[in-house]
Amino acid sequence: MTPRMTLNQISYQISDDNDQKQLLDQLSLDINPGEFVVLLGANGAGKSTFFNTVAGDLTPTSGQIIFNGQEITKQSAQQRTRLISRVYQDPKLGTAADMTVAENILLAMRRGQRRRLLPRRLKQQLPQIKALAKTLPNHLEQQLNRPVSALSGGQRQTLNFLMATIQKPELLLLDEHTSALDAVSSQALMAFTDQTIQDNQLTCLMITHDLEDALRYGNRLLVLKAGQLIADFNAVEQQQLTTEKLLNYLNA
């Protein structure tokens, strides 16, 4: 099987008071098509740097990124948007606040298409938009004409997730996408996330701080520390883990 993405000896350094700080340290990793990979790590472990490097927001100091057999190491985040979708921790990111729910979904439906000065044809697309919204767990199909700014955090983040997955990206990045939500909204979105990934056989990387979620979801579990992978558990090993064992890795 050809990996969906290969990180080959990826390092990323910054200068801090004339000292070099290593945020990623020769990190190598293969992500295979259809894998749902959960990433754990304490604060400062390099998780955000890792995601920013994969997404193209940061260019590695050294190393290579191979995507579907082609090198993309120096491609910008904009160039990678046709391959990679990302949902951020902050529900306010990823949507146009002053536009309606329907307008935001329409934008996501046209993501990656050539931009032309044509009528948006929102009315004609409403049946499809409503059908998409009906798949969500929080009745957004009843609020298609509301501005996104009027939604709750849970509703807005669920919309973000829908928009990120409408086009079935080659790689989905979930950047602690439930951590800003209340417990009920978080559980509902995680269940919807898991179902969507399975139904569409998406390849996904998810950062979480929730140890229970790290054990419950995904089919592979990585632990990052000081910019290095210190553990890589397959699905069987992940099922045998406990929160106590995970804490031992995180605190080692």
Contact 220, 233 (CB under 8 A): yes
- Token reading at 82: 């046709």
Half-sphere exposure of 103 (CA within 13 A, CB side): 13
3-state secondary structure of 119: coil
C-alpha to C-alpha distance for 237 and 148, rounded to whole angstroms = 41
What is the dotted CATH code of the domain comprising 5-83+169-251?
3.40.50.300
Contact 244, 221 (CB under 8 A): no
- Token reading at 102: 């329907």
- The single residue listed with the structure tokens 């949902």 is 87
Domain positions in the chain are 5-83+169-251
Instruction: Note the pTM of the prediction, 2 decimals.
Output: 0.92
pLDDT tens per residue across span 31-68? 999 999 999 998 889 999 999 999 999 999 999 999 99
C-alpha to C-alpha distance for 95 and 203, rounded to whole angstroms = 22
Closest to 134 in 3D by CA, of 102, 112, 109: 102
AA identity, residue 217: Y
pLDDT tens per residue across span 142-190? 889 999 999 999 999 999 999 999 999 999 999 999 998 999 999 999 9
Tell me the backbone φ, ψ of residue 200, rounded to 5 degrees. Answer: -100, 0
Angle between helices 122-134 and 101-109 (to 10 degrees): 100
C-alpha to C-alpha distance for 26 and 39, rounded to whole angstroms = 17
C-alpha to C-alpha distance for 225 and 251, rounded to whole angstroms = 9
pLDDT tens per residue across span 189-231? 999 999 999 999 999 999 999 999 999 999 999 999 999 999 9
Beta carbons within 8 Å of 9's beta carbon, 6+ residues apart: 26, 27, 28, 62, 63, 64
- Token reading at 227: 């910019």
pLDDT above 80: residue 69 = yes
